Amino acid sequence: MQNDVSFAGRHLLLELWEAQGLDQVPLVEKALTDAVKACGATLLDLKLHTFSDTGGISGVAIVAESHISIHTWPEWQYAAIDVFLCGKCDPNDAVPVFKAAFKPGRMQMMESRRGMH
C-alpha cells in the first residue's frame, strides 16, 4: 500500500541506450546480484543465457519478492531491464546499480503498480 492505494507490487521498466559491457556475463551477473541486495530482496535463484550470434545476454534473478530480469542487445548498445518487487522492497533502489554497471548514455524509466485494487 502506498498513499492509501493497495497493489501487489511495483514494476519498474528500464531502457538503457549507449550502454557498455552488455556482452560480459560476469558484469551482468554482478549487476543483477547487486540490484537484488540494493533493493533488500531475497535471492532464490539466478539464471543467465548467452546468445552466441550476438553475445546478448538474457537473465533473471528470481527473488522471494518477485524478479529482476535483463535482456541485452550489445550490437545496439541497448538493454531492457524489469524490476518487479512486492512488499517493502523499492525497485528504484536498483537504478543506481544498473547505471553504475552499464554506464548508459541515455536511460528511460517507466513504473507500474501491479494488481491495484
The residues assigned a catalytic role are: 66, 71, 86
From CA 94, how far away is CA 63, in angstroms rounded?
13
Tallying the residues shown for the chain, one arrives at: 117
Strands (DSSP E) found in 4-56: 9-17, 43-50
- Of the chain, the end-to-end C-alpha distance in Å amounts to 10
From CA 46, how far away is CA 92, in angstroms rounded?
20
What lies within 8 Å, CB to CB, of 26 at 6+ separation is none
Secondary structure of residue 40 in the 3-state scheme: coil
